[in-house]
Structure formats: structure tokens, C-alpha cells
């Protein structure tokens, strides 16, 4: 619960009044390299013991009138399934973004935190399921380009996040460590 309290404090502390900003909704196409561990019987792309997820998702944002400050909620979901096995990885974070300019193409810095979870199920006879949850927090740098007279933005971001250990039945299923991610996306601004 301590992690949840920290995430709520971050979100509330960086909130921007709704009447002073612009709302956005966008899509994410994320690729995340998560810390390694024991991942038996799973389908994924791995690199040196780490696991590489394709994690598409949605992003809901609010920008200040000065266009320098943004708060956004970011979510992602990855599903893998076969006739005997199923895995779902999900992540939800609250973030703050500082835009280093207000022009057509700008750099930005971002930071935030939230939760990550994996649901792993053995669908065979007598199968079991596990569902560990961990805290994730970190930051990144990105570039954003306005399109459609400022009603849309294209963005690309690289970020590093620290992931805490996630257990279920005293088994570590989300190892602690650093996750590296790349996100590409488009935001539609509702001005």
C-alpha cells in the first residue's frame, strides 16, 4: 500500500487545473526490455536473459496553458496465449512531463510511477495461476512533433524504470531491476 500512496501523492502533487489546459488522448506502441529471471514455458523474445515485451497502450493527458507542463496517465498491455498457457503483462503509471520548448518540434523530460503486473496461467488439467504485482518508477527523454495545426502530436520516448520485486506464492515472478523502454505514439489534443 505504501507504493500506492506514493503514486497517488505524485499524481495529486503534479495535477494541473482542468480549466487551464488542454486534454489529450493517444496511443502508445511500446517495447519494453524487463529484468531477467526464470521464465519457463513462455513465448517471448529474449535478449541475454531479459524479456522483451511489445506493449501497446493508451495515454490520457492534460497540458498547462503555457504548454510547458503535462500530466498523463499511461497504460500498456501485452497478451501471449497458447492452448495450454496464457500470460498477460500490464502496466499503469501516472507521469509528469516537462516540455523544453513550445515550437513545432521539441524535446521533453518525463518521470512518474505506477504498478506492473503479470498474470500467468497454466490452462492444462490441474493448472495453476499466479498474479504478482510490483511498483515501477523512473523517467525518460523524448521528442514531440506537432501536426494538424497543433491538434495532434507524434512522439518518441526512451525511458528507464526501476521495477520492484513481484511475488506470488513466495515465488519471484517479477525480478527487481531496471527496465528499458521505447515508446512511439500519437496524441489527439481536444482543445
Tell me the domains of the chain and their CATH numbers. 2-190 (2.40.160.20)
The predicted-structure confidence for 126-159, as pLDDT tens digits, reads as follows 777 888 889 999 999 999 999 988 899 999 999 9
pLDDT given for residue 188 in this prediction: 95
- Three cell numbers, residue 136: 515501477
Q: What is the pLDDT of residue 88?
A: 84
Would the pLDDT of 52 be above 50? yes
Three cell numbers, residue 85: 498457457
Cβ atoms of 131 and 110 closer than 8 Å: no
Higher pLDDT, 77 or 53: 77
How far apart (Å, rounded) are the C-alpha atoms in residues 187 and 191? Answer: 12
Check the CA dihedral 40-41-42-43 and report its sign.
positive
Amino acid at each position: 500500500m505504501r507504493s500506492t500512496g506514493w503514486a497517488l501523492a505524485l499524481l495529486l502533487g503534479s495535477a494541473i487545473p482542468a480549466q487551464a489546459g488542454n486534454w489529450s488522448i493517444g496511443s502508445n506502441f511500446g517495447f519494453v526490455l524487463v529484468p531477467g529471471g526464470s521464465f519457463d514455458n513462455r513465448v517471448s523474445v529474449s535478449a541475454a536473459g531479459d524479456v522483451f515485451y511489445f506493449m501497446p497502450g493508451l495515454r490520457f493527458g492534460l497540458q498547462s496553458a503555457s504548454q510547458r507542463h503535462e500530466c498523463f496517465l499511461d497504460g500498456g498491455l501485452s497478451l501471449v496465449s497458447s492452448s495450454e498457457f496464457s500470460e498477460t503483462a500490464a502496466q499503469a503509471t501516472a507521469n509528469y512531463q516537462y516540455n523544453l520548448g513550445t515550437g513545432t518540434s521539441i524535446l521533453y523530460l518525463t518521470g512518474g510511477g505506477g504498478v506492473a503486473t503479470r498474470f500467468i496461467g497454466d490452462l492444462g488439467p490441474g493448472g495453476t495461476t499466479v498474479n504478482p504485482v510490483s511498483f515501477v518508477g523512473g523517467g525518460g527523454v523524448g521528442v514531440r512533433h506537432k501536426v494538424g495545426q497543433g491538434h495532434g502530436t507524434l512522439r518518441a520516448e526512451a525511458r528507464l524504470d526501476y521495477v520492484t520485486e513481484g511475488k506470488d506464492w513466495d515465488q519471484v515472478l517479477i525480478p527487481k531491476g531496471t527496465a528499458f523502454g521505447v515508446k512511439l505514439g500519437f496524441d489527439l489534443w481536444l482543445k
